Amino acid sequence: RALAKDLWQAIGRNEFSVHYQVQKAVDTQEITGYEALLRWKHPERGHVSPADFIPIAEECGAILDIGEWVLRTACAEAASWHNQAKIAVNLSPVQLGHVDLVHLVHSILIETGLSPRRLELEITESTIIGDKARALHILRQIKALGVTIAIDDFGTGYSSLDTLNSFPFDKIKIDRSFLLEAEHSPQARAIIRAILALGKSLQVPVLAEGVETVTQLELLKSEGCDEAQGYYFGRPAALVPDEAGPDIRR
């Protein structure tokens, strides 16, 4: 694949950047964190979506270097923010399988000076499928560093409850497909409510993804959702606004 070849060169050619999307508390609208989202500007094709190139990077193995680059870049940038918001970084299942991830996370934290409690790693359920015992062992060691682990796209995997039962996640992120349908679908609303109840009884905070309207936010508020993320609060952007004044990051 032509894209795979270009992916291997993209880091060296400075074609990647990290955008940040704000996460807020539903009740107070206080900033709780930012999700790091990788962006690729291909020299000929222009912007290529991670939804298109991450699977290719996973297939050809370039995701290992790319994932390390994202983690290092996001931690370094977050360390220089004036606010103490968390930084949430997506992890590919391939990274858990092929790198000494515990060592990598630990050394990037030391190198960048980012406090471990400010780093959250987002994993999907596919991360735990496969060599489950090994994956859980790695995640436990990462948690022992003080880093938190969120389960991403929750509700779309095929073994959600089993996954929750096998690991003490620090956050559940409800996949945005549920909120998208919530206004006209009682079923989608019921599922959101059920996930929130699950979070409450397990004492795990729940974040809803894909909030685009005030109506959706009101719905989350009335259902007692803890946090939310979506275009309503802000699109992913290169710069994080600094409450201490104009952006001083660069």
Binding site for Na ion (CB under 5 A): 152-153, 209
Q: Which amino acid is at 235?
A: R
Residue 248 is encoded by which pair of tokens? 């001083």
Is the distance from CB of 119 to CB of 109 less than 8 angstroms?
A: yes
Q: Residue 143 and residue 135: Cα distance in Å, rounded?
A: 12
236 sits near ligand G (criterion: CB under 6 A):
yes
Neighbours of 107 (CB within 10 A): 12
Q: Least distance (Å) from ligand G to the CB of residue 92?
A: 4
Q: Residue 2 and residue 82: Cα distance in Å, rounded?
A: 41
Q: Least distance (Å) from ligand G to the CB of residue 153?
A: 5
Contacting ligand G (CB under 6 A), which of 7, 10, 22, 70?
70
Q: Which is nearer to Mn ion, 51 or 161 (CB)?
A: 51
234 sits near ligand G (criterion: CB under 6 A):
no
Contacting Mn ion (CB under 5 A), which of 152, 175, 226, 227?
152
Which residue's entry shows tokens 């807020």? Answer: 24
Q: Residue 71 and residue 146: Cα distance in Å, rounded?
A: 16
Q: Which H helix or E strand runs over 153?
A: strand 148-154
191 sits near ligand G (criterion: CB under 6 A):
no
Point out the residue whose Cβ comes nearest to ligand G: 230
Q: Which is nearer to ligand G, 92 or 112 (CB)?
A: 92
226 sits near Mn ion (criterion: CB under 5 A):
no
DSSP state of 162: H
Contacting Mn ion (CB under 5 A), which of 122, 125, 175, 226?
122
185 binds, among Na ion, Mn ion, ligand G, none (CB under 5 to 8 A by kind): none
Which positions touch Mn ion (CB under 5 A)?
Answer: 90, 122, 152
